Amino acid sequence: MNCYQCGCTLSQHDFCTNCGADVALYKRIIYISNRFYNDGLERAGVRDLTGAITSLRQSLKFNKNNVEARNLLGLVYFETGEVVAALSEWVISKNLRPKKNIADDYISMIQTNQNRLDAINQTIKKYNQALTYCNQDSLDLAVIQLKKVLSLNPKFIRAHQLLALLYINNEEWERAKRELTKCLEIDTNNTATLRYLKEVDEMLLPEEGVKNSSKKQKASNQVIKYQSGNETIIQPANMKESRGVTSLLNLGIGLAIGIAIAFFLILPARIQSARANIDEELRKVSEQSDAKTATIDELQQQLGELQAQKETLEQDMTAYMGTDDGNLQSVESLMKAASAYLTEPSDVTTVADYLDQIEQERSEEGEQENTEAFDSLYNNLLALVGPQLAESYDEEGHAAFWAANYEEAIPKLTKAYQYDPTNGQALYDLANSYYRMGDAQTAKGIYQQVIELFPNTEKADKSENFLAEIERAEE
Amino acid sequence: MINFEEELKKFHPSLEVEDAEEAIYNQDLTDMADLMVKIVKESKKTGE
């Protein structure tokens, strides 16, 4: 300590040993300044930065040359984000003690890094802009601006507090509390922060405020008290947040979020998975169904083929077996004809009846394939009885013809010609019978047969005449 | 209950880096020691 008048180093006496000036009061002032510095240092040590600033400013009010106090004040300002204030203190400190001053290091730390200095300046400008927005009632813009500020300088207490105030004004209590908690982490005993936090806590848990009022009184006893200079410092023993309802509330919110996640994220995924499984099953069933359908089609096709084969076989069978008067009847008739001939060879009429039946069946069923034995027997019988039958039918037919009984003559003459194809007269008279009955068309065909089969005969000439007559009649 | 308008008035614009020099010059650095010396000097003048 130096004399304020001559600058000589002072001794333990209350006067200057060099100039004799009374330094008792001066020494007391310096002591008080130092005591405030010590107090500020202690407060800064427990992060009571607001208290530290107050003490250090008091210290400097008593002694502006207390460089340690000024440097510490600058450091505390810097910690609270007040960079320009910190720089100011360090610059003054450096002017007061140009050499061996730690403020020099602090200033260099900031000034040598231009980017950091620019960032600091931007932070301050944005904060001021946010404040302007607040005053212009553009609170949303202010919130955005303050968030930018805090992203650049997270320790800027005033920005945290202003943002918390804006959240409180917007009744976003949780966010406000979050900001204020950050403030308390930087500066544990900031009056404005504590006041805002009290308000926020009351709004968040109004029922606990009443319940805890008695507890708070009890808790007030659980504080750390210590004397610092002329002031009594009261500091809470613990800073734990209130639990109970808060825990339940958080649990409820967590459950709600969990259910929401399950509903919006897990459930749709499950539904999607179930749908995929169903689609897969459907695809398999569809494939099986297609395979079965193909099998059914194939079987139906086989069934159709078999049905066709069956029908063909049935037709063949019918062809062989006969339906009403088929081959079997033909065979039976032939057998009867043979039997009749063997029994009475002269009874050609009976044989002729059976042979007629065979012919009739042939004409009704169409030309069918018969066994060789059948044909042989039939032809033999026909050869044996044919001339007699032809002669008999010729006689009967011509008798009926000459009697003008053409209806009777026609079948007889037909048989006569059938059993004796050389009997041209029978054929010619058959044509005449038809012609005279008025069936000119049938007669015309038979006349043509006569002309073709028996040319150059009188019957042929006459047939031509009749044909010409019929054609003229048609014209 | 916090009054937003009233609380807002407590927030002041922060000094920018460009304004630091002016702020330093304008800072009143008078302390108690200065006042005491001044008072002592004045009392001496009055005594003479």
Mean pLDDT within B25-47: 85
Of A23-27, A119-123, A176-180, the range with the highest mean pLDDT is A176-180
Which of B20, B31, B40 is closest, CB to CB, to A84?
A: B20
Task: Name residue, tokens 């460009």.
Answer: B18
- Residue A305's CB is within 10 A of a number of other CB atoms, namely 10
pLDDT of residue A267: 84
What pLDDT, in 10s, does the model give residues A244-294?
Answer: 788 889 999 999 998 888 888 888 888 888 999 999 999 999 999 999 999
Mean pLDDT (chain A) is 85
Mean pLDDT within B1-11: 87
**CA–CA gap between residue A314 and residue A318 (Å, rounded):** 6
Q: Given a cut of 60, is residue A213 above it in pLDDT?
A: no
What pLDDT, in 10s, does the model give residues A382-427?
Answer: 788 888 888 888 998 999 998 988 888 998 888 888 888 888 889 9
Mean pLDDT within A426-436: 90
pLDDT of residue A419: 83
User: End-to-end alpha-carbon separation of chain A, Å?
Assistant: 171
Three-state SS string across chain A, please? CECCCCCCECCCCCECCCCCCECHHHHHHHHHHHHHHHHHHHHHHCCCHHHHHHHHHHHHHHCCCCHHHHHHHHHHHHHCCCHHHHHHHHHHHHHHCCCCCHHHHHHHHHHCCHHHHHHHHHHHHHHHHHHHHHHCCCHHHHHHHHHHHHHHCCCCHHHHHHHHHHHHHCCCHHHHHHHHHHHHHHCCCCHHHHHHHHHHHHHHCHHHHHHHHHHHHHHHHCEEEEEECCEEEEEECCCCCCCCHHHHHHHHHHHHHHHHHHHHHHHHHHHHHHHHHHHHHHHHHHHHHHHHHHHHHHHHHHHHHHHHHHHHHHHHHHHHHCCCCCHHHHHHHHHHHHHHHHHCCCCHHHHHHHHHHHHHHHHHHCCCCCCHHHHHHHHHHHHHHHHHHHHHHHHHHHHHHHCCCHHHHHHHHHHHHHHCCCCHHHHHHHHHHHHHHCCHHHHHHHHHHHHHHCCCCHHHHHHHHHHHHHHHHHC
CATH node for A327-474 = 1.25.40.10
**Shortest Cα distance, chain A CAs vs residue B47, angstroms:** 15
pLDDT bracket for residue A368 (50, 70, 90): low
Chain A residue with Cα closest to B5: A135
Mean pLDDT within B18-24: 84
Instruction: Kindly list the residues from chain B whose CB atom is less than 8 angstroms away from the CB atom of residue A199.
Output: 1-2
Mean pLDDT within A327-333: 76
Cβ of A4 under 8 Å from any chain B Cβ? yes
Taking only residues 81 to 100 of chain A, the set having a beta carbon closer than 8 angstroms to any beta carbon of chain B reads 82-85, 87-88, 91-92
* Domain extent listing, chain A: 24-112, 118-208+219-236, 327-474
Cβ of A203 under 8 Å from any chain B Cβ? no
**CA–CA gap between residue A372 and residue A357 (Å, rounded):** 19
What pLDDT, in 10s, does the model give residues A152-166?
Answer: 889 899 999 999 999
Cβ of A15 under 8 Å from any chain B Cβ? no
A84–B33: do the CB atoms touch at under 8 Å? Answer: no
Of A33-47, A233-247, A258-272, A418-432, the range with the highest mean pLDDT is A33-47
Question: What would be the CATH architecture of the domain defined by A118-208+219-236?
Answer: Alpha Horseshoe (1.25)
A158–B14: do the CB atoms touch at under 8 Å? Answer: yes
Nearest alpha-carbon partner for A162 in A150, A151, A152: A150
**Shortest Cα distance, chain A CAs vs residue B41, angstroms:** 10
What pLDDT, in 10s, does the model give residues A128-138?
Answer: 999 999 999 89
Residues comprising chain B, all counted: 48
Mean pLDDT (chain B) is 85
pLDDT bracket for residue A37 (50, 70, 90): very high
Q: CB-based contacts of A151: which residues, under 8 Å, 6+ apart?
A: none
Mean pLDDT within A9-15: 84
Residues comprising chain A, all counted: 475
**CA–CA gap between residue A163 and residue A158 (Å, rounded):** 8
Q: Which residue type occupies A39? A: D
- The answer to whether A53 and A62 have CB atoms below 8 angstroms apart is no
Report the DSSP beta bridge partners of residue A231: A228
Supply the ipTM of this predicted assembly: 0.88
Chain B residue with Cα closest to A61: B31
Identical fold, A24-112 and A327-474 = yes
Nearest alpha-carbon partner for A449 in A457, A215, A87, A62: A457
pLDDT of residue A278: 93
- The answer to whether A374 and A334 have CB atoms below 8 angstroms apart is yes
Min mean pLDDT across A186-190, A205-209, A389-393, B11-15 is at A205-209
pLDDT bracket for residue A3 (50, 70, 90): confident
pLDDT bracket for residue A194 (50, 70, 90): very high
Which of A33, A127, A165 is closest, CB to CB, to B14?
A: A127
pLDDT bracket for residue B29 (50, 70, 90): confident
Nearest alpha-carbon partner for A215 in A184, A194, A236, A200: A236
Mean pLDDT within A354-366: 74
- The answer to whether A72 and A40 have CB atoms below 8 angstroms apart is yes
Q: Given a cut of 90, is residue A304 above it in pLDDT?
A: yes
A64–B33: do the CB atoms touch at under 8 Å? Answer: yes
Of all residues in chain A, the percent with pLDDT exceeding 70 is 88
B8–A195: do the CB atoms touch at under 8 Å? Answer: no
pTM more than 0.80: no
Task: Let me know if domain A24-112 sits in CATH 1.10.10.10.
Answer: no
Mean pLDDT within A199-205: 85
B40–A22: do the CB atoms touch at under 8 Å? Answer: yes
pLDDT bracket for residue A50 (50, 70, 90): very high
**CA–CA gap between residue A233 and residue A343 (Å, rounded):** 162
Cβ of A22 under 8 Å from any chain B Cβ? yes
